[in-house]
Homo-oligomer: A and B are copies of this chain.
Amino acid sequence: MRLVIATCSVDYAGRLSAHLPLAKRLLMLKSDGSILVHSDGGSYKPLNWMSPPCSITTQEPDADQLEAGITELWKVTQKKTDDVLIVSIHEVLHDSSHELGIDPGLVKDGVEAHLQKLLAEQIDLLGDGHTLVRREYMTAIGPVDILARDQVGAAVAVEIKRRGDIDGVEQLTRYLELMNRDPHLSPVRGVFAAQEIKPQARTLAEDRGIRCLVLDYDAMRGLDDADSRLF
Point out residues on A near B: beta carbons under 8 Å: 1, 3, 5, 13, 15-21, 23-26, 28, 30-32, 34, 36, 38-49, 51-52, 93-94, 96, 98-111, 162, 167, 170, 230-231
Q: In the complex, which residues of chain B have a beta carbon less than 8 angstroms from the beta carbon of A48? A: 106
**What is the distance, in angstroms, from A198's C-beta to the closest C-beta of chain B?**
14
A19 pairs with B107, CB closer than 8 A:
yes
B93 pairs with A47, CB closer than 8 A:
no
**What is the distance, in angstroms, from A90's C-beta to the closest C-beta of chain B?**
14
State whether A3 and B23 are in contact (beta carbons under 8 Å apart), knowing that A17-B110, A96-B94 are contacts in the complex: no
State whether A28 and B25 are in contact (beta carbons under 8 Å apart), knowing that A44-B46, A170-B170 are contacts in the complex: no
Q: In the complex, which residues of chain B have a beta carbon less than 8 angstroms from the beta carbon of A28? A: 26, 38
A40 pairs with B1, CB closer than 8 A:
yes
Q: How far is the CA of A162 from the CA of B94 in the complex (A)?
A: 39
Tell which of B13, B18, B24, B98 touches A5, judged by Cβ atoms closer than 8 Å: B98
Question: Given known contacts A24-B98, A41-B102, what 20 new A-B pairs fall within 8 Å (CB)?
Answer: A1-B26, A5-B98, A13-B231, A16-B110, A16-B111, A17-B231, A20-B103, A20-B104, A20-B105, A20-B107, A24-B101, A25-B100, A32-B41, A36-B44, A40-B98, A40-B101, A43-B52, A44-B49, A94-B96, A170-B170
Q: How far is the CA of A120 from the CA of B100 in the complex (A)?
A: 51
Q: In the complex, which residues of chain B have a beta carbon less than 8 angstroms from the beta carbon of A102? A: 39-41
